[in-house]
Structure 1
Amino acid sequence: GSLDIHVFADNNTFVIIQSQINTNGFLSVEEPKVESEYLGKMPASFGMIAVFLGDLDNSDGVGKVYYRQDSRPSMLLRTTDHISQAFPQDDEINPTHALIITWENVAAHGVPGRGDGLDRKRNTFQLVVASMASASYAILFYPREGLQYISTPVAGQSEPVHAGFSQGLVQAWYSWSSTQGPYYRIATDDEASVRQLSEETNSGRRGVWVYEIGTSPIFSSITPGQVTNLSPEEGIAGGQMEYPVVPEPPQPSYPEPTQPSYLEPIEPRYPEPVQPRYLEPVQPAQAKPPRYEPQTPQVVVVDEDDDLDVDVFAYNSETCSSNRQKCSSFADCKDYTNGYCCHCRPGFYGNGKDCVAEGKPQRMNGKVNGRVFVGNTPSPLEFSNNDLHSYVVANDGRAYVAISTIPAGLGPSLQPLSSLGGVIGWAFALEQPGYENGFSIIGGVFSRQAEVTFLPGNERLTIKQEFKGIDEHDHLVVSTELEGRLPEVPRGSTVQIDPYKEIYQYGSNLITSSSNRDYTVSLPDGSVQTKTYQWRQTITYQSCPNDEEVRAVQSTQQLSVDQIFVMYDSGNQLIRYAMSNKIGSIVSGPPEQNPCFTGRHGCDTNAACRPEEGIQFTCECSTGFTGDGRQCYDIDECREMTEICGSHAICNNQPGTFRCECMDSFQFASDGKTCVEVDRPIDHCQRGTNNCDIPERARCSYTGASAYICSCLSGFVGDGYTCQDVDECEQGRCHQDAVCYNSQGSFTCQCHPGFHGDGFQCTPEHEKTQCERDRESIQVSSNTGSFSFFRPRPAVSQYVPTCNQHGAYEPTQCHGSIGQCWCVDGNGQEIPNTRTGPGQRPLCIDQGVIPPPIGPTTRPDVSPVAPGTHLLFAQSGKIEHIPLDGYSMNKGEAKALLHLPDRVAIAVAYDCVEKMVYWTDITGPSISKASLEGGDTISLSPEGLAIDHLARLMFWTDSMKDRIEVAKLDGSQRHVLFDTDLVNPRPIVADPSYGYVRLYWADWNRDGPKIEMSNMDGTDRTVLVKDDLGLPNGLTYDPESQQLCWADAGTRKVQCMDPNGRNRRTIVEGIQYPFAIVSHGRNLYYTDWRREAVVAVDRTTDRETDEFLPQKRSRVYGIATTPTQCPQAYNYCSNNGGCSHLCLPRRGGFTCRCPDMVDGSCVERNL
Structure 2
Amino acid sequence: MDLHQRDWLGWATLFAIALSVNSLRKRDMFDYGEQAGDQLLEQGTDQTQKLILNQSMFFFGGTYDTVYINTNGFLSVEEPKVESEYLGKMPASFGMIAVFLGDLDNSDGVGKVYYRQDSRPSMLLRTTDHISQAFPQDDEINPTHALIITWENVAAHGVPGRGDGLDRKRNTFQLVVASMASASYAILFYPREGLQYISTPVAGQSEPVHAGFSQGLVQAWYSWSSTQGPYYRIATDDEAETNSGRRGVWVYEIGTSPIFSSITPGQVTNLSPEEGIAGGQMESPRYPVVPEPPQPSYPEPTQPSYLEPIEPRYPEPVQPRYLEPVQPAQVVVVDEDDDLDVDVFAYNSETCSSNRQKCSSFADCKDYTNGYCCHCRPGFYGNGKDCVAEGKPQRMNGKVNGRVFVGNTPSPLEFSNNDLHSYVVANDGRAYVAISTIPAGLGPSLQPLSSLGGVIGWAFALEQPGYENGFSIIGGVFSRQAEVTFLPGNERLTIKQEFKGIDEHDHLVVSTELEGRLPEVPRGSTVQIDPYKEIYQYGSNLITSSSNRDYTVSLPDGSVQTKTYQWRQTITYQSCPNDEEVRAVQSTQQLSVDQIFVMYDSGNQLIRYAMSNKIGSIVSGPPEQNPCFTGRHGCDTNAACRPEEGIQFTCECSTGFTGDGRQCYDIDECREMTEICGSHAICNNQPGTFRCECMDSFQFASDGKTCVEVDRPIDHCQRGTNNCDIPERARCSYTGASAYICSCLSGFVGDGYTCQDVDECEQGRCHQDAVCYNSQGSFTCQCHPGFHGDGFQCTPGSPEHEKTQCERDRESIQVSSNTGSFSFFRPRPAVSQYVPTCNQHGAYEPTQCHGSIGQCWCVDGNGQEIPNTRTGPGQRPLCIDQGVIPPPIGPTTRPDVSPVAPGTHLLFAQSGKIEHIPLDGYSMNKGEAKALLHLPDRVAIAVAYDCVEKMVYWTDITGPSISKASLEGGDTISLVTTDLESPEGLAIDHLARLMFWTDSMKDRIEVAKLDGSQRHVLFDTDLVNPRPIVADPSYGRLYWADWNRDGPKIEMSNMDGTDRTVLVKDDLGLPNGLTYDPESQQLCWADAGTRKVQCMDPNGRNRRTIVEGIQYPFAIVSHGRNLYYTDWRREAVVAVDRTTDRETDEFLPQKRSRVYGIATTPTQCPQAYNYCSNNGGCSHLCLPRRGGFTCRCPDMVDGSCVERNL
TM-score band by shorter chain is 0.5 to 0.7
Deviation (angstroms), 1:237: 33
Deviation (angstroms), 1:363: 1.6
Cα distance change, pair 352–1164 in 1 and its aligned pair in 2 (3 A): farther
For the 8 Å contact 1:1092–1:1115, the answer to whether it is kept is: yes
Deviation (angstroms), 1:596: 1.5
Deviation (angstroms), 1:691: 2.3
Cα distance in 2 for partners of 1:1125, 1:24 equals: 66
Cα distance in 2 for partners of 1:539, 1:64 equals: 56
For the 8 Å contact 1:279–1:402, the answer to whether it is kept is: no
SS at 2:456 equivalent? helix
Cα distance in 1 for partners of 2:196, 2:528 equals: 16
Cα distance in 1 for partners of 2:945, 2:660 equals: 58
Cα distance change, pair 1070–883 in 1 and its aligned pair in 2 (3 A): same
145-154 or 663-672, which moves further after superposition? 145-154
Is 1:1007 the equivalent of 2:1046? yes
Deviation (angstroms), 1:673: 0.7
For the 8 Å contact 1:119–1:563, the answer to whether it is kept is: no
Cα distance in 1 for partners of 2:277, 2:984 equals: 19
For the 8 Å contact 1:310–1:542, the answer to whether it is kept is: no
For the 8 Å contact 1:861–1:1081, the answer to whether it is kept is: no
62-71 or 450-459, which moves further after superposition? 62-71
Pick from 370, 373, 383 the counterpart of residue 351 of structure 1. 383
Q: CA-to-partner distance for each residue in 1:534-557, whole Å, 9 max, x for gaps?
A: 110111111112212111111111
Deviation (angstroms), 1:674: 0.6
141-150 or 370-379, which moves further after superposition? 141-150
SS at 1:78 equivalent? helix
Cα distance change, pair 520–916 in 1 and its aligned pair in 2 (3 A): same
Deviation (angstroms), 1:1003: 2.8
Cα distance change, pair 557–800 in 1 and its aligned pair in 2 (3 A): closer
Cα distance in 1 for partners of 2:396, 2:573 equals: 18
Cα distance change, pair 481–1131 in 1 and its aligned pair in 2 (3 A): same
Deviation (angstroms), 1:515: 0.7
Unpaired segments ≥5 residues, structure 1: 15-20, 193-199, 287-298
For the 8 Å contact 1:782–1:793, the answer to whether it is kept is: no
Deviation (angstroms), 1:1032: 4.0
Deviation (angstroms), 1:769: 18
Cα distance in 2 for partners of 1:156, 1:65 equals: 25
SS at 1:238 equivalent? helix
The aligned runs of 1:1052-1091 (5 Å cut-off) are 1056-1059=1095-1098, 1076-1082=1115-1121, 1084=1123
For the 8 Å contact 2:1025–2:1042, the answer to whether it is kept is: yes
Q: CA-to-partner distance for each residue in 1:957-984, whole Å, 9 max, x for gaps?
A: 3323333355677888876554444332
Cα distance in 2 for partners of 1:857, 1:877 equals: 20
882-891 or 178-187, which moves further after superposition? 178-187
For the 8 Å contact 1:843–1:1134, the answer to whether it is kept is: no
For the 8 Å contact 2:338–2:704, the answer to whether it is kept is: no
Cα distance in 2 for partners of 1:531, 1:260 equals: 19
Equivalent residue number for residue 73 of structure 1: 121
1054-1063 or 117-126, which moves further after superposition? 117-126
Cα distance in 2 for partners of 1:182, 1:986 equals: 24
SS at 2:294 equivalent? coil
Is 1:430 the equivalent of 2:462? yes
Cα distance in 2 for partners of 1:233, 1:767 equals: 97
983-992 or 370-379, which moves further after superposition? 983-992
Cα distance in 1 for partners of 2:1159, 2:582 equals: 60
SS at 1:80 equivalent? helix
Equivalent residue number for residue 1049 of structure 1: 1088
Q: CA-to-partner distance for each residue in 1:774-809, whole Å, 9 max, x for gaps?
A: 999999999999999999999999999999769999
642-651 or 531-540, which moves further after superposition? 642-651
Cα distance change, pair 1140–458 in 1 and its aligned pair in 2 (3 A): same
Q: CA-to-partner distance for each residue in 1:481-502, whole Å, 9 max, x for gaps?
A: 2221111222222222221111
For the 8 Å contact 1:262–1:631, the answer to whether it is kept is: no
Deviation (angstroms), 1:1042: 2.8
For the 8 Å contact 1:9–1:216, the answer to whether it is kept is: no
254-263 or 270-279, which moves further after superposition? 254-263
For the 8 Å contact 2:1026–2:1043, the answer to whether it is kept is: yes
Cα distance in 1 for partners of 2:278, 2:1114 equals: 14
For the 8 Å contact 1:28–1:49, the answer to whether it is kept is: yes
Cα distance in 2 for partners of 1:1128, 1:177 equals: 50
Equivalent residue number for residue 835 of structure 2: 800
For the 8 Å contact 1:66–1:266, the answer to whether it is kept is: no
Cα distance in 2 for partners of 1:1044, 1:11 equals: 34
Deviation (angstroms), 1:731: 12
Equivalent residue number for residue 452 of structure 1: 484
Cα distance in 1 for partners of 2:1133, 2:398 equals: 20
Deviation (angstroms), 1:648: 1.3
For the 8 Å contact 1:594–1:614, the answer to whether it is kept is: yes
Deviation (angstroms), 1:600: 2.1
Deviation (angstroms), 1:473: 2.1
Cα distance in 2 for partners of 1:117, 1:328 equals: 62
Cα distance change, pair 368–321 in 1 and its aligned pair in 2 (3 A): same
Cα distance change, pair 721–870 in 1 and its aligned pair in 2 (3 A): same
Cα distance change, pair 161–356 in 1 and its aligned pair in 2 (3 A): farther
Deviation (angstroms), 1:913: 6.6
Cα distance change, pair 902–806 in 1 and its aligned pair in 2 (3 A): closer
For the 8 Å contact 2:327–2:696, the answer to whether it is kept is: no
Deviation (angstroms), 1:449: 1.1
Cα distance in 2 for partners of 1:10, 1:858 equals: 40
Pick from 936, 951, 967 the counterpart of residue 901 of structure 1. 936
For the 8 Å contact 1:274–1:1115, the answer to whether it is kept is: no
Equivalent residue number for residue 89 of structure 1: 137
Equivalent residue number for residue 678 of structure 1: 710
1101-1110 or 698-707, which moves further after superposition? 1101-1110
What is the aligned-residue identity percentage? Answer: 99
TM-score by length of 1: 0.65
For the 8 Å contact 1:782–1:795, the answer to whether it is kept is: no
Q: CA-to-partner distance for each residue in 1:94-145, whole Å, 9 max, x for gaps?
A: 9999834599999999999999999999999983569999999966599999
Q: CA-to-partner distance for each residue in 1:628-658, whole Å, 9 max, x for gaps?
A: 2222222222222222211111222222222
For the 8 Å contact 2:321–2:1152, the answer to whether it is kept is: no
SS at 2:115 equivalent? strand
906-915 or 792-801, which moves further after superposition? 792-801
Cα distance in 2 for partners of 1:788, 1:46 equals: 79
For the 8 Å contact 1:246–1:605, the answer to whether it is kept is: no
Deviation (angstroms), 1:178: 33
Q: CA-to-partner distance for each residue in 1:250-274, whole Å, 9 max, x for gaps?
A: 9999999999999999999999999
Cα distance in 2 for partners of 1:8, 1:142 equals: 23
253-262 or 999-1008, which moves further after superposition? 253-262
Q: CA-to-partner distance for each residue in 1:347-399, whole Å, 9 max, x for gaps?
A: 11111111111111212222222222222222222222222222222112121
Cα distance change, pair 108–846 in 1 and its aligned pair in 2 (3 A): same
SS at 2:122 equivalent? helix
Q: CA-to-partner distance for each residue in 1:283-334, whole Å, 9 max, x for gaps?
A: 9999xxxxxxxxxxxx999999999999774223222222222211111112
Cα distance change, pair 468–115 in 1 and its aligned pair in 2 (3 A): farther
Cα distance in 1 for partners of 2:204, 2:587 equals: 55
744-753 or 908-917, which moves further after superposition? 744-753
Equivalent residue number for residue 517 of structure 2: 485
Is 1:719 the equivalent of 2:767? no
SS at 2:139 equivalent? coil
Cα distance change, pair 215–1072 in 1 and its aligned pair in 2 (3 A): closer
1157-1166 or 162-171, which moves further after superposition? 162-171
For the 8 Å contact 1:312–1:446, the answer to whether it is kept is: no
Q: CA-to-partner distance for each residue in 1:1028-1074, whole Å, 9 max, x for gaps?
A: 75554443323223333445566776654444556666667888876
927-936 or 479-488, which moves further after superposition? 927-936
For the 8 Å contact 2:325–2:695, the answer to whether it is kept is: no
Q: CA-to-partner distance for each residue in 1:74-96, whole Å, 9 max, x for gaps?
A: 99999999999999999999999
Deviation (angstroms), 1:605: 1.9
Deviation (angstroms), 1:216: 25
Cα distance in 2 for partners of 1:1044, 1:832 equals: 22
TM-score by length of 2: 0.63
Deviation (angstroms), 1:986: 2.7
358-367 or 687-696, which moves further after superposition? 687-696
Equivalent residue number for residue 1168 of structure 2: 1129
Aligned residues: 1137
Cα distance in 2 for partners of 1:233, 1:895 equals: 55
SS at 2:671 equivalent? helix
Cα distance change, pair 305–1101 in 1 and its aligned pair in 2 (3 A): closer
Cα distance change, pair 129–513 in 1 and its aligned pair in 2 (3 A): closer
For the 8 Å contact 1:247–1:265, the answer to whether it is kept is: no
Cα distance change, pair 762–1040 in 1 and its aligned pair in 2 (3 A): farther
For the 8 Å contact 1:280–1:390, the answer to whether it is kept is: no
Cα distance change, pair 1055–1141 in 1 and its aligned pair in 2 (3 A): same
